[in-house]
Amino acid sequence: MRERLTRFFASRWGIILAGAVIGILAPLLQFLGNPPNMGICVACFERDIAGALGLHRAAVVQYIRPEIIGFVWGSTIAALLFREFKARAGSAPIVRYFLGMFAMIGALAFLGCPWRALLRLAGGDLNAILGLAGLAVGISIGVLFLKSGYSLGRTARTHMAVGWITPIFMGLLFLLLLLRPQFSKDGPIFFSTSGPGSLHAPLIISLVFGLLIGFLAQRTRFCTMGALRDVILMKDTHLISGVGALLVVAFIVNLILGQVRFGFAGQPIAHSSHLWNFLGMALAGLAFALAGGCPGRQLFLAGEGDGDAGLFVLGMITGAGFSHNFSLAGKPDAVVEGALQVGGLTTFGMVAVLFGLVACLVIGFTMRERA
């Protein structure tokens, strides 16, 4: 039974099913309360968690998102049931931590991770085209490095505790979400009362949908970065068929739920500063390619016991803290007195994206193994 299921999930139909399920659940999450065109966004949600913990003080984006917790636990459950839980770590951990930071800085410049880029596109937000184009360029650069021998080194099996740290950390976050402690006057745990952080589906639904997606994604190795990378690297379309299914199904569900509005300007929680949408996602794409997985995949790997992926996740969460504290994150378009004010990045944000790109290029160039 397990063998048959494993083979199904490893097949093209398996990953198409996973993509289709995500394409249904994500728009539903938006319909049930998550922010517009943000049924799922790994970067934004990790940023919201950072905010809830007080790692940044942007009051409109603070909430411990159960979807992220569900992604990790769903993967843990799948890995345990199918005997794939393996505690492993040791592959250039500090590099992965900083790659996570750079990935988050890039994603927040665009105001979305690749998952949200797909969902924004499925909601008619055409700025996502720039984002996805940038993502592809960033991944292409990563592929060049991979082809010339780039590697972060081997990971090694290690003590069980290492593998359990991320799932347990997620459990602690869940406790904080449930108990809502306040650690000091005017202090965390914060829960936004306005803005995107205040928009969320019911807790149980967010958690259950997250678990379902985590399970399916672990079984099918779903990865939005890998999808583009494998096409560029070796014309392999296995992963991208899952991503394609996500996009198509999400668009159809959005049409049914009336969640589609085509355009560039004034899209929800988005900006139309084309160059920085492109460059931000190029940085994110390069960082994901160098780290071996999109932000969703890093959560699923962490759930399976991969301590290095767990560090990447922590890099993303703390990176979100820096991003908002240092005014690096993108500002959405706004309509002020009837006139459109195009959002975008502060000078700090632009410098940060360029710095991140240089840093990732240095990592790519210097961490190569000569054959």
Partner 1 sequence: MAKTVDARGLSCPQPVILARKAIAEGEFPIEVLVDTVTSRENVRRMAEKAGYKVRVEEMGEEFKLILNR
Give the residues lining the site for partner 1 (CB under 8 A): 6, 10, 84, 86, 88, 91, 146-147, 151-152, 154-156, 221, 226, 229-230, 233-234, 236, 238, 292-293, 371
The least distance separating partner 1 from the CB of residue 250, rounded to whole angstroms, comes to 25
- 187 — phi, psi (to 5°)? -115, 180
The least distance separating partner 1 from the CB of residue 147, rounded to whole angstroms, comes to 7
Spatial distance between the Cα atoms of 174 and 161, rounded to a whole number of angstroms: 19
Nearest to 115 by CA among 48, 38, 170, 221: 38
Q: Which amino acid is at 297?
A: R
Of 14 and 343, which CB lies nearer to partner 1 in the complex structure? Answer: 14
Of 48 and 308, which CB lies nearer to partner 1 in the complex structure? Answer: 308
First to last CA, the chain: 42
The least distance separating partner 1 from the CB of residue 154, rounded to whole angstroms, comes to 3
Of 304 and 333, which CB lies nearer to partner 1 in the complex structure? Answer: 304
The strand pairing partners of 156, in sequence order, are 89
Q: Are 210 and 70 in contact, with CB atoms under 8 Å apart? A: yes
Of 103 and 146, which CB lies nearer to partner 1 in the complex structure? Answer: 146
Of 185 and 370, which CB lies nearer to partner 1 in the complex structure? Answer: 370
Cβ-proximal residues to 135 (8 Å cutoff; 6+ apart), any chain: 114, 117, 225, 228, 281, 282, 284, 285
Q: How many Cα neighbours within 13 Å face the side chain of 276?
A: 28
Tokens representing residue 299 in the block: 């959560």
Spatial distance between the Cα atoms of 69 and 22, rounded to a whole number of angstroms: 16
Residue 156's SS3 state is strand
- Concatenate the DSSP letters of all residues of 262-316 into one string: -BSTT-TT----HHHHHHHHHHHHHHHHHHTS-HHHHHHHHHTTBHHHHHHHHHH
The least distance separating partner 1 from the CB of residue 220, rounded to whole angstroms, comes to 10
The least distance separating partner 1 from the CB of residue 291, rounded to whole angstroms, comes to 9
Spatial distance between the Cα atoms of 89 and 360, rounded to a whole number of angstroms: 21
Q: Exposed (0-12), middle (13-18) or buried (19+): which is 201, by Cβ within 10 Å?
A: buried
The least distance separating partner 1 from the CB of residue 234, rounded to whole angstroms, comes to 7
Of 204 and 371, which CB lies nearer to partner 1 in the complex structure? Answer: 371
* Radius of gyration, alpha carbons of the chain: 19
Of 85 and 251, which CB lies nearer to partner 1 in the complex structure? Answer: 85
The least distance separating partner 1 from the CB of residue 221, rounded to whole angstroms, comes to 5
Of 4 and 154, which CB lies nearer to partner 1 in the complex structure? Answer: 154
Task: Give the H/E segment covering residue 42.
Answer: helix 42-52
Of 38 and 223, which CB lies nearer to partner 1 in the complex structure? Answer: 223
Q: Which amino acid is at 352?
A: A
Spatial distance between the Cα atoms of 272 and 131, rounded to a whole number of angstroms: 10
The least distance separating partner 1 from the CB of residue 155, rounded to whole angstroms, comes to 5
The least distance separating partner 1 from the CB of residue 293, rounded to whole angstroms, comes to 8
